[in-house]
Structure 1
């Protein structure tokens, strides 16, 4: 599954602002909600959970986005929902970008050259962040220079949650 190969990159995008954000989750899945409740709301066929540097992650390949089935990964720390990453079908990237820009405005982004490089070269990454950096559209290219996009929603207090897990478990994040 190509989406799972990006998890280290997804997990590395944790430098989010602590300013107030408008986003408190994705759809009806609210950040801070229990694992069981969010998995029921995700309405897709979850694979067995995997341990991740930030806690546990659950993945499915039949998550509904823009009336299409796609891959999604949900992240939990201490039984609390903290992040969702959704593979955006190629034909929906531009529309998704426009909707996000209109709803939240752009908070930060990669340079134009970095964005162009994703389409031209292998192993490149570019991003556009929204809502005080709590929503990211991540564009990547793999070793064959095939590009893809991932939409990531993260909890406002994700760094605090990760630090509290580290303090409890002794893990270095």
Structure 2
């Protein structure tokens, strides 16, 4: 994905006020953190590929996940048969609206510097982030080796270390 007009989006960040939410999100849509793999995969409502083994747990991916009325890629992460994280590729046209919605709902908890954000559009292999909801939600911007940028929305469970510590060796 390539951002078409990112300057106004990242200028908004310079004006973002720091705030923190009192409680962490408990999942994404109907997919609740800590729920079993079978339940979450049924709720994801997309065509999952075979799972990939991760260092701890499993990852399931699909290319037809619905986000903002569009089909996009998503990856769901599970540890010890419990849902802990979802990463959603954000279509270019939805980035500004997604950012504004997250700012209004959760407030900005932390973010990369203005220079780091601009560097994603200018240089290859750069990363910038904006975190929300006590850092449990992240909007991550990256550029690849060809300096093409993309955005990923990541929702993470609050208690991942606790869930990982109960995972089978």
State TM-score, norm by structure 2.
Answer: 0.84
Separation of aligned partners in 2, 1:12 and 1:154: 25
Structure 1 runs (4+) greater than 2 angstroms displaced: 1-22
Q: Give the count of matched residue pairs.
A: 162
Deviation at 1:54, TM superposition (A): 3.0
Q: Helix, strand or coil: the match of 1:4?
A: coil
Q: Could you say if the C-alpha distance between residues 151 and 119 of structure 1 is closer, same or farther in structure 2, counting changes exceeding 3 Å?
A: same
Deviation at 1:19, TM superposition (A): 9.2
Q: Helix, strand or coil: the match of 2:100?
A: helix
Aligned-CA RMSD value? 6.7
Query: CA contact under 8 A between 1:14 and 1:158: conserved in structure 2?
Result: no
Q: Could you say if the C-alpha distance between residues 87 and 16 of structure 1 is closer, same or farther in structure 2, counting changes exceeding 3 Å?
A: farther
Deviation at 1:18, TM superposition (A): 12
State TM-score, norm by structure 1.
Answer: 0.82
Deviation at 1:64, TM superposition (A): 0.1
Separation of aligned partners in 1, 2:111 and 2:96: 15
Gaps of 5+ in 2: 165-169
Structure exhibiting the larger radius of gyration computed from Cα positions: 2
Query: CA contact under 8 A between 2:20 and 2:133: conserved in structure 1?
Result: no
